[in-house]
Chain A
Amino acid sequence: MLFKKFVLIAVATGLMIGVTARAQDAGALLDLLVKKRLITDQEAEEVRSELTKDAAATSAGKLKLSAPITEVELYGDMRVRYETREGATASTVPGTPGPNDTLKRSRERYRFRLGLRGTLADDWFFGLRLETSTNPRSTNVTFGDDAGPFGKASDAIGIGQAYLGYSGFRDIRLTAGKMPNPLVTTLMVWDGDINPEGLAEQWKHSYNFSFGGGTTPAAESSSKDGKNVAAVESEPFKVKLDLFMNLAQFVYDDSNPENPLGVRAVSGGRLVPNSDAWLLAWQMGARLNLPKNVYFQVAPVLYNYTGAGDTFNNFFVGGQQGITNTASMALNQVGINSLLVLEVPAEFGFKIGELPVRIFGDFAVNFDGGDRAIAAGHPEAQDQRYAYQIGAGIGQLKVKHDWQLQAFWQHTEQYALDPNLVDSDFFDSRVNVQGVVVQGGYALSDAIIFNLSYGYGRRADRSLGTGGVGDIGINPLDKYQIFQADLNVKF
């Protein structure tokens, strides 16, 4: 009897500590105690009832989730930033106050992202993320940029991600909606803030190999004096190979309507398109994981575009040398004609002591770059179809006092890439720019990261514009630099 009382008190006390988490575990433990006849069903019910009561009084106990949700995670980040970016005109721009005129933009900004992702019964999953800003390539809001002082017009929250998917087939993950980019890529081709919309199908499978190792039999070993020595054990050389494939069909621009009343309109001598624009991607990749944290990954991806939507029915020009800045910027900067791009991102990583090091790079070629140059009025620049990036980084930012340094060089030619996707910071959403980026970060705590970034770029081909629409209203953008200081909170 005394033992039974002791068990009950111990169980109740133990479960009361950290009530929320333990209330869920209590059922199995109580059932076991009943099964072992240490307590009765009635006593178990009374303990269970007390636990439920205490759990219901906690903050977590007041949160109710629908039954089909099997796991849910709330996450997000907040960032305050000081940024200054500056662009310079070419020395030969007509109508400018003088050669090498500059446009400078300094601002204090913040961003906020709040996400919810989870799994559902029967292998379904979902994700939702709210973000500041409506810009597809930025989540920043600039302080004081709206009516006020301290207005809220630009501080709206948008849906950054809203997707659902199914992972019930072995090694396969299917996603539909506005999703995190499923492709392995770099800032050279895709701005990190873009959440593409459409469908993605991902496959990944790991293969494990083991070479050599085992125990050398004692009888086959001997010392110099002829005596037998102990058996020698050696570790096998283990290799893990991850193969993956990412397929994507993104709705680039919706056409509305698909079938207009009457005769289809004509614009610029061409029929106004009546089909959606799609960005299609096919990626195959491999990551080879070797012992001692050494790895190599390469993931070629081919991009193709179909349709023109409502907005992309004009040929890309990307600015023009030798005309006024205003006229140059008015030339089409966003066309997606003649883009059949192969991108090959690659990364090699290892450790120096405890410090992770990575050497990374990216290469892209637009197989239709010649046609894109001709359509832009520059048949002499058909070779301007390549882009590449090479860089290295050391360190990581996971826990307090971690640090990281990274630098890369990037060269992007005028007809190599889709200017609507390239990173908006380095280098101002432009192509035909080359330059260097240096970044450093320090973890003030596990959740607080301080980052400094600097980028400097110059026009790559001085006879062409710098295609794309950025924050600096200059085209051609002859020189460009940017500095950012960030304080990030992650949760």
Chain B
Amino acid sequence: MKITHLALALGLAFAATEARAEKLVIKGSDTLGAKLVPQLAEQFKAQHPGTTFDIAAEGSTTGIAAIIDGTAQIGMSSRRAKSSEVGAASAKGVHMKPTIVAYDGIAVIVNSANPIKSLTKKQVEQIFAGDITDWSAVGGSGGKISVYTRNTSSGTYSDFKELAMKKRDYASGSQKMAGNEQIAAEVGKNSNGVGYVGLAYTKAGGIRVVSIDGVLPSVQTVHAKTYPYARPTFYYTNGDPTGLAKQFLDFTISAAGQKIAAQVGFVPIP
């Protein structure tokens, strides 16, 4: 009888250990996954000992694809799922459910040595589309503009095309970077560089955020939607999240999670 109780107790303890060691797989956006989600994960782990995370921040497209393929419980995305992605998900019986986890403003950055402090929306479109190739055309001191963009799997890449470029193609000579930090680093090194990053990446050295039509990205202008390149960021799940994914999502949008989002540089949910 005692042996039976012991075996039962051991079994329960093993099961509990297994539950505590549950792994959450999160894939997708570099904007969310490079800074915010790892910090949220650390805090979450402190409250849920034994929980492990597998975070891959390789672009929003990979996050949405991971939900469709069932290879992640949460897909991070800085853009909305495209109709083709939603259609592909439906065909597999996957229901793409978006949850807003924070807001962001895509900041246009130049090298801190560049005298340009403000651009119009039209100028931004022309610069990134390659119509304007020299800083002198927008009131700068001259020099061939070096355009840095994200790669095609990035949600920021798509969002910027839609928000800032009337869906036009980027300039053929633009250089595609893997993440926000790489863009900030390149612009910081290149006095003729221009690029865009999420708000959380604007504190990098050697860069300056330019205002767009006189508006700088900030908590206030993003909330008020007066900044033209403001956008929500998402967790995508297959239907309503359950289990650990739901706990982590709930934590992300809780007051504690939003405080972390604000500390990282995102705009919290109002």
Given A41-B100, A49-B96, A49-B97, A56:B87 Cβ within 8 A: yes
71-89 of chain B: CB within 8 A of chain A: 80-81, 83-84, 86-87, 89
Chain A interfacial residues counted at CB < 8 A: 20
Query: Which residue of A is nearest B89, CB measured?
Result: A53
Interface residues of B in 160-175 (CB under 8 A from A): 161, 166-169
Q: Report if B152 contacts A (CB, 8 A).
A: no
Q: Looking at A52, A64, A68, which has the most chain B CB atoms within 10 Å of its CB? A: A52
Q: Would you call B167 and A67 a contact (CB within 8 A)?
A: yes
Are the C-beta atoms of A56 and B167 separated by less than 8 Å? Answer: no
B228 CB within 8 Å of chain A: no
A171 at the interface (CB under 8 A from B): no
Are the C-beta atoms of A52 and B168 separated by less than 8 Å? no
Q: Which of A42, A48, A62 has the most CB of B within 10 A?
A: A42
Q: A57-B90, A67-B167 are in contact. Are A45 and B83 (CB under 8 A)?
A: no
Query: Whole-angstrom distance from the CB of A70 to the nearest CB of chain B?
Result: 9
- Which residues of chain A are within 8 angstroms of B87 by Cβ–Cβ distance? 53, 56-57, 61-62
A347: min CB distance to chain B, Å: 41
**Residues of B contacting A55 with CB < 8 Å?**
83
Q: In the assembled complex, which residues on chain B have CB atoms less than 8 Å from the CB atom of A121?
A: 166-168
A25 sits at the interface (CB 8 A): no
Residues of B within 8 A of A122 (CB): 168
* Distance in angstroms between the alpha carbons of A48 and B166 in the assembled complex: 21
Neighbour of A64 across the interface among B81, B84, B232, CB < 8 A: B84
Q: Which residues of A contact B269 (CB under 8 A)?
A: 41
**CB-defined contacts of A49 to chain B, threshold 8 Å:** 80-81, 86, 96-98
Give residues 45-76 of A contacting B (CB, 8 Å): 45-46, 48-49, 52-53, 55-57, 61-62, 64, 67-68
| B182 interface hit (Cβ, 8 Å) | no
Which residue of chain B has the shortest Cβ distance to A35 in the bound complex? B225
Does A46 contact B84, Cβ atoms closer than 8 Å?
A: no
Binary interface profile of A, 13-47, with partner B (CB < 8 Å = 1, else 0)?
Answer: 00000000001000000000001000001100110
Output the least CB separation between B221 and chain A (Å): 15
* Known A49-B96, A52-B81; further 18 A-B contacts with Cβ < 8 A: A35-B225, A41-B100, A45-B80, A45-B100, A45-B234, A48-B80, A49-B86, A52-B83, A52-B86, A53-B87, A53-B90, A56-B84, A57-B90, A62-B87, A67-B169, A68-B168, A68-B169, A121-B167
Query: Lowest 10 A-B CB distances belong to which pairs?
Result: A56-B87, A67-B167, A56-B83, A52-B86, A45-B98, A56-B86, A53-B86, A42-B100, A52-B83, A49-B98
Chain A residues positioned under 8 Å from B86 (CB to CB) = 49, 52-53, 56
Closest to A56 in B: B87
Q: Which of chain B's residues have a CB closer than 8 A to the CB of A23?
A: 83
**Chain A nearest Cβ from B46, distance in angstroms:** 27
Tell me, yes or no, whether B95 is within 8 Å of chain A by CB: yes
